[in-house]
Amino acid sequence: MHLLLVEDDERLARALTRLLEEDRHVVEHAPDGVTGLELAAAIEGLDVVILDVGLPDMSGLDVARRLRRDRVDVAILMLTARDTVTDRVTGLDAGADDYVVKPFAYQEVAARLRALARRAEPGPRRAEPRLEAGAITLDETSRRVTAAGRNVDLSPREFSLLEALLRHAGQTLSRDQLLDLAWPFSVAVTPNAVDAYVHYLRTKLGDAGAQIETVRGVGYRLADA
């Protein structure tokens, strides 16, 4: 899903963003309510706003009310340290679709996002993104990869790395950027791991592996043709 995280705690925002991206969500971040409102109105195809109640410039409750007043068609998952029944009712009445109390386990956030997705799609599922560059195709729904029409069997980490390269086809990504995009926040790993997995990918992709180009002193780039 395409998500907007409105959270002023920078450390929490970084951790949550990385975990959400590991689950193959597209995540935008706003550090305050005003920016959150601007992005929510500007982003096309936004699915869920993950909204902290305690923002520095305005209450997350007021952000939710503004979104509903302005008829922004997006689900709202509210994050808050307030856990009384009255607090939860206030959040839901402000326009939230669901509620998570801090501190929370990431698995709960992920499950509530899945529930919101199910509610939003009562009919046939929407087509999932299909990523292509040159001879390489990646289908997120089936988790199927082909190279020049040939099926390629990838490990979960190889799949995530290839997806990151495909989403930024034609762009040079540093090893640190690839670690941020393709490795979960909880895993301790060094930039050398990127080199190893690029080697694995090139081998499995065969001739199409040549599309993954080394940019000396910087990182890697996937040629988009």
Tell me, what's the pLDDT at 128? 47
The whole-angstrom separation of Cα 118 and Cα 116 is 5
The whole-angstrom separation of Cα 205 and Cα 73 is 41
The pTM of the full predicted model, rounded to 2 decimals, is: 0.55
Residue of 5, 10, 18 whose CA lies nearest to 186: 18
Enumerate domains of the chain plus CATH numbers: 2-120 (3.40.50.2300), 130-222 (1.10.10.10)
Please list the pLDDT of the chain residue by residue as tens digits (225 residues): 889 999 999 999 999 999 998 888 889 999 999 999 999 988 878 889 999 999 999 999 999 999 988 888 889 999 988 777 777 788 888 888 888 888 888 988 988 888 888 776 544 334 446 899 999 999 877 788 999 999 999 888 888 899 989 988 898 998 888 887 777 544 566 778 899 999 999 999 999 999 999 999 889 999 986
